[in-house]
A and B are shown apart, each in its own frame.
Chain A
Amino acid sequence: MLELRHRGGCPGPGGAVAPPPREGEAAGGDHETESTSDKETDIDDRYGDLDSRTDSDIPEIPPSMDRTPEILKKALSGLSSRWKNWWIRGILTLTMISLFFLIIYMGSFMLMLLVLGIQVKCFHEIITIGYRVYRSYDLPWFRTLSWYFLLCVNYFFYGETVADYFATFVQREEQLQFLIRYHRFISFALYLAGFCMFVLSLVKKHYRLQFYMFAWTHVTLLITVTQSHLVIQNLFEGMIWFLVPISSVICNDITAYLFGFFFGRTPLIKLSPKKTWEGFIGGFFSTVVFGFIAAYVLSKYQYFVCPVEYRSDVNSFVTECEPSELFQLQSYSLPSFLQAVLRRETVSLYPFQIHSIALSTFASLIGPFGGFFASGFKRAFKIKDFANTIPGHGGIMDRFDCQYLMATFVHVYITSFIRGPNPSKVLQQLLVLQPEQQLNIYKTLKTHLIEKGILQPTLKV
C-alpha cells in the first residue's frame, strides 16, 4: 500500500503528461531516501566490499516507461496530474478485479495457470532487481542458472502435486509411473546438476558476487515458489479457500487506505510513514465484516465449496460433491448481549464463516507485515517499485507482497484444523508398498473399521 499513499499524496511536478509519476515522486516526494542516503554513505564506506559502495553506485533504475495506454491518456488529458493519477490507478484496479472474476469463472485449471504465471513473473522481477543491484558483469551462466533452478524446484513441487491429485491418470501411463516413482531422485539429480554447474562457473574475481546471486536466487525461490504451490494446494481444497483469503487481503489494502485517507492521524510504523493506526484498525474491522459476508455468499455454491478433483473419464477438473459440514447452515445461539442488540435468539451461519473470521484477522493484522517487509526491501535496495508491469501500481510483486504470508497461513490452517492428510495421497502410498505390507495393512484396517462399526463384518456364506 505504500506506493498508493506516495502517489496519492505527492502530485507529480508540473502535471506534465510525459514524465511518469514515478520520477516526479523520486525527485520531490521521497524525503526518506534522500536523508538516508547521506548517512548510509558513511556507513557503506566502511564495508570495504561490493555492498559498501555508495548509493550512487546502485545503477539508476532506467526511467520507467509510461505504459498507460494512449486511450486513457487522451481521455484524462484534461485533468490535473493528481486526479489523473487517481483515475489511472482506479481504472487499473477495476481491470485487475474484473480479470480476477473472469478467471474464476473460467475454472480451476485457468486459476492454476494464472498462479504459475504470477509466480514466474514475481521470480523474474526479483531476479532482475538482484541482477541490476549487483551489476552482474555478464557473469557466465547466472541468468541461465537462476531460471534452471526455478524449473527444477517447480518440477519437484508440481510432481508432488500431480502425483497426489492425478493418481488415477498417472496409473494409466507407463512413463508417468516411472517418473512418479523416482520423482525425488530425478528432481534431486536435476538440482545437483545445477549446483555443480554453479561451482564450475565460479570465476576468480567474482566469487562473492556469484555467491550472493546464488543465495539471492535460493531465497527468492523459497519465497515465491513454495508459496505459490501452497496457493495451488489451497485451491484444490476448494476454490473458496483460495478466494476468501485473497479477497480479504485486497479488501484490507483498499479499506485501510480509505480509512487512512479520511481519518488517518497517528503513524503506524516508521517503515511505512503513510500508514496510520486508524487505517489499520478500520481496515481490520471492515475486512472481518467483508470476509464474513463473502464467506456467506460463496458458501452456497458447490462450485466454490467442493474440492477440485480430476476426473479421468471427462479428462477435466470437476467440482462436484456433497458439501461438507463446514458449508452447511447451522444454527448458533447468540450470546445474550448480542441477542438484545439483534433481537434474535439464534442465527444460521455456515461454520466456515467462523473460520473466515480467523482468516480475515490474519489478513489484516499479520498480512501487512509482508507489505512492510517488501517496503523495507525496496528501501534497502533503493527502488521505488519491483517493476513497471502495471501502470500506476508497479510490478506484480508489489500487488502480491501481502499475499504470500496469507497463502502459507491458510495452508497451515487447513492442515491443522480443517482436514487431516489427503486421502488420495494415502491411497497412492498404499499402492506403492510391497504386497505383503499391503496385506498386513489391509488386515489392520479391516479390524479397525469393524471395531468402529464403519464396516460390517462379512458373514460367512
Chain B
Amino acid sequence: MTELRQRAAREPDAPPEDKELESEAKVDGETASDSESRVEPAPPPTSADDTPEVLNRALSNLSSRWKNWWVRGILTLAMIAFFFIIIYLGPMVLMMIVMCVQIKCFHEIITIGYNVYHSYDLPWFRTLSWYFLLCVNYFFYGETVTDYFFTLVQREEPLRILSKYHRFISFTLYLTGFCMFVLSLVKKHYRLQFYMFGWTHVTLLIVVTQSHLVIHNLFEGMIWFIVPISCVICNDIMAYMFGFFFGRTPLIKLSPKKTWEGFIGGFFATVVFGLLLSYVMSAYRCFVCPVEYNNDTNSFTVDCEPSDLFRLQEYSIPGVIQSVIGWKTVRMYPFQIHSIALSTFASLIGPFGGFFASGFKRAFKIKDFANTIPGHGGIMDRFDCQYLMATFVNVYIASFIRGPNPSKLIQQFLTLRPDQQLHIFNTLKSHLTDKGMLTAATEDE
C-alpha cells in the first residue's frame, strides 16, 4: 500500500512517471540510503503511461491528484470485477490465472535483477532463468497432477510412465540447466553470473512454490482460496482508509506512510469482513466442496456433501457478549472460527510481506516492480502480501483441517511390496480392533 500513499500524497503534474517519483523518493528522506551507491541504476525501461486513452480523456479536466485517485479507483474496481468473473468461470480458469500471475511476477523480478546488474548480454542468462522456471513448474505440476488426476493418468500409457519416473525426469531436467550454467560461466563475469543464479533461485523459491500452494488451497475448496485473498485485499484497503482518516502514529520506518491507527483499524475491519464473507460463502456448495476431476465428464466438478466445517451449528455466546447483543446462542459455521484465524494472520503478518517488498524496492531503488497496471505498478506490487498468506493457509489446512489424503494413501499403498502391504494391513487391523471400530461382525461384511 506504500505506493498508494506516496502517489496520493504527492502531486505529480504529469501522469505518474517513474523518474519523477524516483527523485521525489530521494526528497522523501532517503538521500543517504545505501551510501555505497553513487550512480543511478538505469531507470526501468518502461515508464510509459499505460493508462488507456479513453480514461485519459475522460479525466483530463480534473486536477492531477484527483485524476490519480480516479485512475487507481477505476483500476481497483476493474481488478475486483475481473476477480469475480474468474471465480465464476471455475477452477480451471482460476488455475490458469494463478499460473499467469506466477509467470508475470517471475518475469518482473528477473527483469529487475537483469536491470540492476546491467547484465552485459551474458550468454544464456535469460534462457536459463526461464528454463529453470519451466523445470520447477514441471516438477510441481507433475506432483499435483499425479495426486488429483490419478485415474486419468493411469489410463494413458505415456502419462503413466511420466508420472512413475516424475522425480527422476524433473531432476534430470534441472541438472541439465545446472550443467549449462556451469558451462556458461564466462571468465570476467563469474560473480555476476553467480548473483543471477542466486537471484533466480530465490525468486523461484518465493514465486513458484507459493503459487503452487495457492493451487493446493484451491483444490481443497474454492473458499480456501477466495477468503484469504479477499482478507488481504480488504486489509490493504481498510488500513489505507483508517490511516487516511485517523492516521497519526507511524508504524514502521520502512514504510513511513503506514500508521498504527491504520494497522489496528484494518485488523478489526478485516476480521469482521472475514466473518461476514465466510458466512455468505459457506452456504454455497460450489465454494465449499473440494475440486475434483470427474473422469466421465472430463472436467472439474465441485459437488459433494459439505463437511462439518460448513454446516450451521449453535454456539452459545459467552456471557459478556450476551448482554451486548441480547442473544443467547448464535448460529455460525465452524469455518467462520477458522476465518478469524485467517483474517488475523492476513492483518498482522501479511503486512510483513508488504514491508519486505518495500524494503526490496528501496534496496534496489525502484518505485514499482513494473508498470503493468496503471496507477498500481506491477503484478508483484499487488501480490506481495499474498504470498505469505498462501503458505499460511496451506500449512493451516494441513495441520488443523484435514489429515493426509486417503486416496493418495491407497495409491501409495498399492505400490508397496506384498509383504509390506500385509504388514501395514495387519497393523491397521490391530489398531482398529483396539479402538473398537472393528469387530468380528463388521469383519465379515
Contacts and interface: CB of A to CB of B under 8 A. Distances in A.
Contact of B418 (A208, A377, A439, A452): A452
A432 B403 contact: yes
B254 to A, nearest CB: 6
Contacts of B360: 207, 211
Nearest to B419: A454
Interface in A404-444: 405, 408-409, 412-413, 415-417, 420-421, 423, 426-427, 429-435, 437-444
Interface in B1-49: 30, 32-41
A204 B253 contact: yes
Nearest to A187: B395
A153 B171 CA distance: 22
B409 A207 contact: no
What class of interface size applies to chain A in its complex with B? 35 or more
Interface string A363-387: 0001001001100110111000000
Contact of A184 (B183, B399, B412): B399
Contacts of A27: none
Contacts of B356: 195, 198-199
A172 interface: no
Contacts of A379: 190
Given A439-B432, A439-B438, A49 B41 contact: yes
B331 interface: no
Nearest to B171: A412
Contacts of A49: 34, 36-37, 39, 41, 116
A207 to B, nearest CB: 4
Nearest to A322: B419
B421 A380 contact: no
Interface in A338-392: 366, 369, 372-373, 376-377, 379-381
Interface stretch (B192-200, B284-292, B293-301): B192-200
Given A208-B363, A435-B435, A454 B399 contact: no
Contacts of A198: 356
* Number of chain B interface residues as a range: 35 or more
A185 B395 contact: yes
Interface in B391-406: 391-392, 395-396, 398-400, 403-404, 406
A355 B41 CA distance: 52
B410 interface: yes
B191 A426 contact: no
A438 B432 contact: yes
A26 to B, nearest CB: 17
Interface stretch (A7-15, A84-92, A214-222, A255-263): A214-222
Interface stretch (B174-182, B217-225, B238-246, B367-375): B174-182
A271 B189 contact: no
A460 B404 CA distance: 34
A205 B34 contact: yes
Contacts of B195: 51
Nearest to A49: B37
B80 to A, nearest CB: 28
B30 A204 contact: yes
Interface stretch (B52-60, B127-135, B266-274, B423-431): B423-431
A439 B431 CA distance: 10
Nearest to B443: A458
Dominant secondary structure of chain B at its interface with chain A: helix
B425 A271 contact: no
B126 interface: no
Contacts of A297: none
A196 B437 contact: no
A415 B167 contact: yes
Nearest to A215: B202
Contact of B188 (A40, A377, A438): A40
B420 interface: yes
Given A39-B188, A40-B188, A439-B437, A376 B182 contact: yes
Contacts of A409: 171, 175
B444 interface: yes
Contact of A427 (B33, B398, B424): B424
A192 interface: yes
B406 A222 contact: no
A198 to B, nearest CB: 8
20 contacts: A36-B188, A46-B39, A48-B41, A185-B398, A199-B356, A204-B33, A369-B182, A415-B167, A420-B412, A420-B416, A421-B412, A421-B416, A426-B424, A433-B403, A433-B406, A437-B403, A439-B432, A445-B413, A454-B422, A455-B422
Interface of A: 36, 39-40, 43, 46-51, 53, 181-182, 184-185, 188, 192, 195-196, 198-200, 202, 204-208, 210-211, 215-216, 218-219, 222, 269-271, 366, 369, 372-373, 376-377, 379-381, 405, 408-409, 412-413, 415-417, 420-421, 423, 426-427, 429-435, 437-446, 448-449, 452, 454-455, 458, 460
